[in-house]
Structure formats: structure tokens, C-alpha cells
Amino acid sequence: MLKVRPIAERDYPALMQIAIDSGHGFTSLPQDEGLLKRKIARSMASFAKQVEEPRDELYLMVLEDTERQQVVGTCAIEAAVGIEDAFYHYRLGTDVHVSPQLGIRREVNTLTLCNDYTGAAEMCTLFLQPDYRKDDNGRFLSLCRFLLMAAHPERFGDTVIAEMRGVSDANGESPFWQWLETHFFGIDFPTADYLTGIGDKVFVAELMPRHPIYVDLLSPEAQAVVGVVHDNTRPAIKLLESQGFRFQGYVDIFDAGPTVECAREHIKGVRESQKFQAKVSSGAGDSNVILCNTSMQDLSMIKANVSIDEDTLMLKPEDAQLLNIADGDDVWALCLNR
């Protein structure tokens, strides 16, 4: 059985292995022991915290194979980015040049450094081990975050974003960053990516161009990848688009991958999540759902087949045990059949 739960101290070795396996471009999990342990501690404190409005909380979760007692994936939500540390993007814009006397009009695409997503919740750190990329497990791992947002909306920003991995080669080199490296930074993409991952963003403010960049002045290779996702990321962006997320012209400052966004209350998975009263029953139902208990510190989410009758949800004893709920307890559900 697969279960999503909050990360714990004992999960550090598994989290480090995920950081290694995820490779270049997975900025939120650098291979740094101190940082990963601080992330675990920060997440544990966030789940234990009473929250009235989102600040700098991190909700880092793991997907556990309960039979093997093995962590096989991870996902996370940053409650509100940019509160404690600057959160940068490039905003795609248009600069118009007109000369009525000469009858000339030119529109030039620009990239402007900004902090427009400050306060938004961010979905991040989604990774599933290859052996478990089957049976809709990836969709389960991604959608469970929307169920959590529905159950505890006060913990997350009103806008939800996801930074999609941009184009890079097998060595982790980004065509977009290669242009920035040549003209402004002098450090390679993996190094810049790592520094950002460990929270060292001072170099961005110090070395990033202070004026808008004309896209037409980029190398042809860099121009071609602005707003383009990595091939491995296409299934993830397709799922998010089905949930209502859209690209609104913001790209990552390192690899120019697109950032997609949606108002939290308009996300399909949030809108369709419902709270029920649990009834433990031996019979399996025909509704395939993601289930979530109402606890934060003892959070548990699973996939299950249940029966739903108005405000009552009937689930099997083994599923109730995994969720640590009993008859009459509240349970949140997101139907996967729709």
C-alpha cells in the first residue's frame, strides 16, 4: 500500500537518495546534508505549527510503500514564497518602438527581473522513483497536494504556482544560462542551480542584469528554449494544465522554464475535494478516491476504493487504519474517476 505522510527525521537517507537520483535542474533538493536536514526540521515544525495565515512554512511529504517500509517518492508545498528570502522570476514583456515619420513600428520581446510571485504558494519537489512510475502513482502524488490545500486553505497563499524544469542537456547545461554565464555570471549552470538550492541567492541580485534583456539579443539556442519545458517534465505540466494552471509569461531565471499558476480556489482538485463523515465497512466501493485525514502532524493520504452516500464515506478497515481514523471521524476525499 502506498501512503503519503509528512517527512520525518528517519527519512533523511531516502531524501538524500532522491536528491542524487533527481539529477541536475532539481533545484529544491540539492545534494547537501545540512540543507536537507534543515528542510526536514523546517517541515516538521510547519506541520506542528498553528497557522492563521501563510508565512514561510514548508510542507515536505514522502510517498511510502508501507509493505516494504520504503520511501519511494516525495512532494512539497511552500506556503508563501518570497516572505523570508527574495523570490525571482523573469517576466516576459513587450517593448514597442514607433516612428510615425518613417512609418516604422517594432515590437521587441523583453525579459525583466521581478518578484511578482511574492506570497504565492509553490508546488515543488515532486519526484517518484522509476519502479513506481505506474498505476497512476505520479498523479496520486501530485494531486494529494490539492487535497491538503482544500482541507487547510488558511495555510497557503491565494495564488499557487509551479516552476517547470526548463531545457538542459545530459550534463545539466542550459542553453539559456550559457548566454547569461558568458555575459554576466561566469559560473556554470549546475553551480548556479546548487547555490540557489542551498539558499545562497545573493549572487543573483549582485550579478543579474539590472535592465530588461531583449530576447532577440540572446543566442539562437537561448531564444529557442524560453518558456519551454524539459522533455521529462511534459507529463507534469500536462497534468497541471488539466487542473487549471496556465502560463502567464513568467520564466525561471536560470533555465527559462515556464512557471504556471492558478488561483488556489479555482484549482480543479481543490474545488472537487469534499469532507465526509467516515464509516468503516468491510465492503469495497466503486469510487476511486484520494483520502486524507484532518490531522496535520499525523497527516496520512492514500488511494482507495470507497462508497459514498451523501455526506457519508464508507471505507475498508485497513484503509481506516492507514488513515488513523474511526467511525464518525471527518475525512477529506478527492474523486479520481472524474
Which of the residues are catalytic?
Answer: 230
How many CB atoms lie under 10 A from the CB of residue 309?
10
Q: Indicate the residue type of 201.
A: K
**Which of 162, 145, 154 is closest to 75 using CA atoms?**
145
37-58 burial code (b ≥16 CB/10 A, e <16):
eebbeebbebbeeeeeebeebb
Are the CB atoms for 332 and 291 separated by under 8 Å?
Answer: yes
For 163-186, the three-class secondary structure string (H helix, E strand, C coil) is ECCECCCCCCCCHHHHHHHHHHHC
How is residue 207 written as a grid cell? 550579478
Q: How far is Cα of residue 58 from the mean position of the Cα atoms in its chain?
A: 11
Report the DSSP beta bridge partners of residue 65: 2, 70
Nearest to 325 by CA among 333, 336, 317: 317
The C-alpha cell 520525518 sits at 8
Cell 482541507 sits on residue: 151
Give the integer Cα–Cα distance in Å for 75 and 5: 10
Task: Determine the Cα–Cα distance for residues 226 and 30; give it in Å rounded to an integer.
Answer: 24
Asked if residues 178 and 12 have their Cβ atoms less than 8 Å apart, the reply is: no
Burial (CB < 10 A; 0-12, 13-18, 19+), residue 220, is exposed
